[in-house]
Amino acid sequence: MDKVRIGIIGHGGMGSHHARYLAAGEMPHAELVALCDVDPARLEGVDEKYGRQLACFENADKLFAAGCCDAVIVATPHYFHPPLVIQALENGVHALSEKPAGVYTRQVREMNEKAAKSNLVFGVMFNQRTRPVHQKMRELVQSGEAGEIKRTIYVINSWFRAQSYYDSGGWRATWAGEGGGVLANQCPHNLDLWQWICGMPKRVYAFCHFGKYHDIEVEDDVTAYVEYDNGATGVFITSTGEAPGTNRLEIHADQGKLSMENGRIDFWRTRVPSNQFLREWKGGFGSPEVWKCEIPVKGGGEEHKGITRNWLDAIRNGTPLLADGKEGINGVEIANAMMLSTWTEDWVDIPVDEDLFYAELQKRIKTSKVKSTASGPMKVDGTF
């Protein structure tokens, strides 16, 4: 097809961001044709705002029934991502979901199974994968340049939020409206990058603190410990109540240490692998010779536009996806494991027990202050 006709479901903050660059013609092989939102106020004056006539729909059923779109971007609150992607696929429409892929692995797995049976392109908006610094870090690990991983340390507590942020929407930071706090809202990118670069852990023990710094139901402070199949360990620390924060990923491996912070990567490379040195060195005290290397990183990446462009190329030309939608379950898996570990005060294996997590989540939804979201009513059992 010469141009992909795109509809956006959810015309809030992220939905309007996508609409602006699409309407401005920044994706030459795409045409914004429709908007959908359950709040009529969000659809007022959109023709003037975007300089083109757009079809507007009050719900997704009407959008898909109109048959006006080849593809949709789903930019609604988290719980609605999987059901809307599934609805798109069932209607023969390509889908790109905002992060996270969902709130709990059971609904994400069902979405992935539907996508696997279709011939449609399903992507997820992991825009931080477009950043060259993240791509280079992944290359150094996946290529074996750094050697086998021994330890990972990800400190990402630069997500500071004031109470007024949480007060800005009745669905925010509630179990019923958002399904979680910092892990569900701010950290899906970091959880994705952590596993994309370092691989998935096999089990988790975590300490999530709920409303530690804010008047909210959900977690705003997390410290988690993980173990990997090869015996390596990892720590993940995040918070929305600490300032100034840090955004640093350290990877300790057999061939040295990688540190990614402030858009740069430093590689302290051992001349001899540390495992080899500790076996062969006969001098008692001693350590391998180390070279400090500054890894060259160029460019800033296209962020959201880059993921959208890649998704459109996949639709038109079969280009491999940088952020395949089916990979979105990995970060959700880790987040669910961290939450379930806190609730049960025990280790949680990955894959997580889907039924147990779902049951525990429902307990919290039933006592949540919110029984609906910005995108429509939610049943108390968490279905829509």
Q: Does a structural domain hold residue 134? A: yes
Per cent of the chain over pLDDT 90 is: 93
The whole-number pLDDT of residue 299 equals 86
pLDDT above 90 (res 373): no
The stretch 133-140 carries a mean pLDDT of 98
Q: How confident is the model at residue 370 (pLDDT cuts 50, 70, 90)?
A: confident
* pLDDT of res. 375: 40
Name the residue among 234, 276, 264 with its Cα closest to residue 252.
234
Domain-embedded: residue 382: no
Domain contains 383: no
Q: Are residues 105 and 35 in the same domain?
A: yes
Domain that holds residue 319: 4-128+303-324
| Mean pLDDT for the chain overall | 95
pLDDT confidence of 93, banded at 50, 70, 90?
Answer: very high
Q: Give the residue-averaged pLDDT of 125-142.
A: 98
Does some domain include residue 86? yes
Kindly report, residue by residue over 317-346, the tens digit of the pLDDT: 999 999 999 999 999 999 999 999 999 999
Average pLDDT (32-61) is 97
Could you give the CA distance from residue 383 to residue 365 in angstroms, rounded to a whole number?
11
Region 111-122 average pLDDT: 98
In this structure, the answer to whether residues 230 and 138 fall within a common structural domain is yes
Q: What is the CATH number of the domain that holds 59?
A: 3.40.50.720
Residues 239 and 346 in one domain: yes
Q: Are residues 230 and 350 in the same domain?
A: yes
Calculate helix-pair angle for 105-116, 328-344, nearest 10 degrees.
160
One DSSP character per residue, 121-147 reads -EEE--GGGG-HHHHHHHHHHHTSTT-
Q: What is the pLDDT of residues 268-296, one digit of tens each?
A: 999 999 999 999 999 999 999 999 999 99
| pLDDT value at residue 275 | 96
pLDDT mean over 198-210: 98
Residues 193 and 313 in one domain: no
> Are 285 and 369 members of one domain?
yes
Determine the Cα–Cα distance for residues 22 and 38; give it in Å rounded to an integer. 21
Question: Is 307 part of any domain?
Answer: yes
Query: Are 317 and 338 contained in the same domain?
Result: no
Percent of the chain whose predicted confidence (pLDDT) is above 70: 96
**Average pLDDT rounded to a whole number, residues 241-252:** 98
Same domain, 83 and 153: no
DSSP string, 335-351: HHHHHHHHHHTS-EESS
- Residue 102 shares a structural domain with residue 54: yes
| Average pLDDT of span 20-46 | 97
Domains in the chain, number = 2
3-class DSSP assignment, residue 293: strand
383 has pLDDT over 60: no
pLDDT at position 363 is 97
Query: What is the CATH classification number for the domain harbouring 265?
Result: 3.30.360.10
More confident residue, 324 or 383: 324
Q: Are residues 216 and 118 in the same domain?
A: no
Averaged over 358-364, what is the pLDDT? 97
pLDDT band at 374 (very low <50, low <70, confident <90, very high): very low
| Residue 376 vs residues 80, 171, 228, 340: alpha-carbon distances, Å | 9, 11, 40, 27
Same domain, 98 and 184: no
Inform me whether the pLDDT recorded for 313 exceeds 70: yes
* Residue 172: predicted pLDDT: 86
The answer to whether residue 122 is domain-embedded is: yes
Q: Is the pLDDT of residue 382 over 60?
A: no
Same domain flag for 121 and 151: no
pLDDT at 309: 98
What average pLDDT score do residues 162-191 get? 93
